[in-house]
Amino acid sequence: MSDIAERLNSIKSTLPEGVELVAVSKFHPVAVLREAYNAGQRVFGESRVQELVDKIPEMPDDTRWHFIGHLQTNKLKYLIGNVSLIESVDSLRLLEMIDDLSFRKGVITRVLMQLHVAAEETKFGFTPAELIDWFATRGFESLKATHICGLMGMATNTDDDERISSDFRTVAETRKRIIEVAPDLRGFDILSMGMSDDYQAAIAEGSTHVRIGSAIFGQRVY
């Protein structure tokens, strides 16, 4: 078995049933993704549009792609219709553009709203209060071709385990609050949280999707 297959299998064996593994393959060549594919992996996460678009035709048709990076609206047209989930919707303007373009192309785009809970100011996303308010005032009702499937969040980059857990807890609690203020929401089930160094803490707080890169593929060369 290849190293990648071995690491993939050993991570998968630790995931509880129902937790989906997104293999974050950004900055790694297609040959490496194929190794993971051959070991059974189907869902891959990428953070740059051009890189993702280049990889799509090189991988088997049943590969599912999640976009997980900050998305510039001028590049959106390359993603719509080509990805199974955009995990990183970090502004209402981006959401509206996704919806318009999806509608015009005749496709439904599945997305997650990205929450900003970490201490770092550089991380993108909505505050919990902003998002709860937007759902409470039923902003989602005007969407024509977008299905909001849940939330994505990143914890503070720190050795403080309590802070990490509390960041993930905030994401999970925000999802609950949103369901309280908009009880008719359907399919708002995904909590995408947890990366190589903190996915166990994320699962303990209710993560349904873990996004793991370096623990599978090794260090990235930027």
Ligand X SMILES: *Cc1c(COP(=O)(O)O)cnc(C)c1O
Residue keyed to tokens 């203020």: 181
State how far the Cα of 43 lies from the Cα of 190, in Å rounded to an integer.
15
The distance of Cα 64 from the centroid of its chain, to the nearest Å, equals 12
Residue written as token pair 């040959």: 31
Based on CB atoms, which residue is closest to ligand X, 69 or 206? 69
Angle between helices 3-12 and 30-38 (to 10 degrees): 50
> Which of 112, 143, 178, 212: binder of ligand X (CB under 6 A)?
212
CB of 182 to ligand X, least distance (A): 25
| Residue in 25, 41, 47, 207 binding ligand X, rule: CB under 6 A | 47
CA dist 132 and 187 (Å) reads 17
Span near ligand X by CB under 6 A; candidates 3-11, 141-149, 159-167, 189-197: 189-197
Q: Which residues from 6-35 bind ligand X, rule CB under 6 A?
A: 24, 26
**Separation CA 74–CA 97 (nearest Å):** 10
- Residue 214 binds to ligand X (criterion: CB under 6 A): yes
Q: DSSP assignment, residue 218?
A: -
Task: Give the residue closest to ligand X by C-beta.
Answer: 213
In one-letter notation, the amino acid at residue 92 is L
79's enclosing H/E stretch is: helix 76-79
Which parts of 55-114 interact with ligand X (CB under 6 A)? Answer: 68-69
3-class DSSP state of 146: strand
- Kindly determine how many residues on this chain lie close enough to bind ligand X according to the rule CB under 6 A: 13
Q: To the nearest whole angstrom, how small is the minimum distance from the Cβ of residue 199 to ligand X?
A: 8
| Residue 186: CB minimum distance to ligand X, A | 26
Asked whether 108 and 146 are in contact (CB, 8 A), the reply is yes
Taking CB under 6 A as the binding criterion, the range among 100-108, 136-144, 156-164, 192-200 that sits at the site for ligand X is: 192-200
Asked if residue 202 binds ligand X (CB under 6 A), the reply is no
Q: How far is the CB of 178 from ligand X (least distance, A)?
A: 21
Q: Considering the rule CB under 6 A, would residue 211 count as an interface residue with ligand X?
A: yes
Q: How far is C-alpha 96 from the chain's CA centre?
A: 18
Taking the complex as a whole, how short is the minimal distance between the CB of residue 138 and ligand X, in angstroms?
28
Residue ranges in contact with ligand X by CB under 6 A: 24, 26, 47, 68-69, 195-197, 211-215
